Structure 1
């Protein structure tokens, strides 16, 4: 496919309710590569939902041990995304909230915009999305609910639905 893939961003979090915070951020780049960083929780970030941990499989203790400081993750995102200017998310409401929280606590402003992935999709792509995503999961061996892999899954699903609609 000659068209450039969209840059996709995904965030895993401590839960979904009030007080939740980002614990991992990942991106899938336009060339199809992906990467992610665990985020070291701040002292005031205490909310922890065991149901969320069952999904992503990341223990809070691991974040404390292996996570990167909030400011370092925010700087990495700016370094990766400033020249592109935007990234896309399938859960814009949640991801944008967690991204804002990350940058606020880093004392920085994002140098890119996060937009809803659905704005890139035609009606035909939207109709195919769910079944196509399940097919890609089955074929790719992607580990769900990890930020980098989920971002790549969304990118592959986007690409496949584009091809199916041509």
Structure 2
């Protein structure tokens, strides 16, 4: 079974007025990438607590961020063929994705779905401890979109393997 494509978004904060500042993907082949998003003039909400988490300053976004239209095109180019990407924070990520595409004047050519729908009960039970173990093992930098998307993908893969192994152990004759 191939890995699902995971999408993660870092934002200027939470709630009303927040906007996407970095979008990352972990592809089915295990590679990952991310783009900083250059804020539009009307995007003014900035939460210093969010900046403490992701470590991305407004100045860096202005300097290194890609225009909204470019990021929306990139996402469509990456995701149109497979048609779906998954997120562990669907409510937030879908809102920020909609905002990005709205301001780009484009429609997404893919769906964003909740990662949870791919997980069996056993995977859900193993999720948090597995994710924390992977962070320690791999020294993953949290709250950066590309790294977080890849972490979700690795956690999905390991919990699936563990759940299948447990299931096989409990089969009659195993």
SS in 2 for 1:114: strand
Name the CA distance, whole Å, in 2 between partners of 1:137 and 1:156. Answer: 10
What residue number does 1:84 align with?
82
Match of 1:105 in 2: 103
1:11-90 aligned within 5 A:
11-90=9-88
Describe the SS at the equivalent of 2:82. Answer: coil
Deviation string 1:91-149 (CA, Å, 9 cap, x unpaired) is 00000000000000000000000000000000000000000000010111111000000
1:122 & 1:149 partners in 2: Cα distance? Answer: 24
In structure 1, stretches of 5+ residues that fail to align are none
Distance 1:110 1:146 in 2: 23
Q: Which has the larger radius of gyration?
A: 2
Secondary structure of the corresponding residue to residue 87 of structure 1: strand
d(CA) in 2 for partners of 1:120 and 1:107?
Answer: 31
> Structure 2: how far apart are the matches of 1:47 and 1:130?
31
Find the counterpart in structure 1 of residue 138 from structure 2: 140
What TM-score, normalized by structure 2, do the two folds share? Answer: 0.94
Partner Cα distance (1:139, 1:106) in 2:
39
- Work out the CA distance in 2 between the residues paired with 1:142 and 1:83: 29
Counterpart CA distance in 1 for 2:147 and 2:112 is 18
Q: Which ranges of structure 2 fall in alignment gaps of 5 or more residues?
A: 165-174
Give me the whole-angstrom Cα distance separating, in 1, the residues matched to 2:139 and 2:107.
Answer: 35
Structure 1 length-normalised TM = 0.98
CA distance in 1, matches of 2:106, 2:84: 17
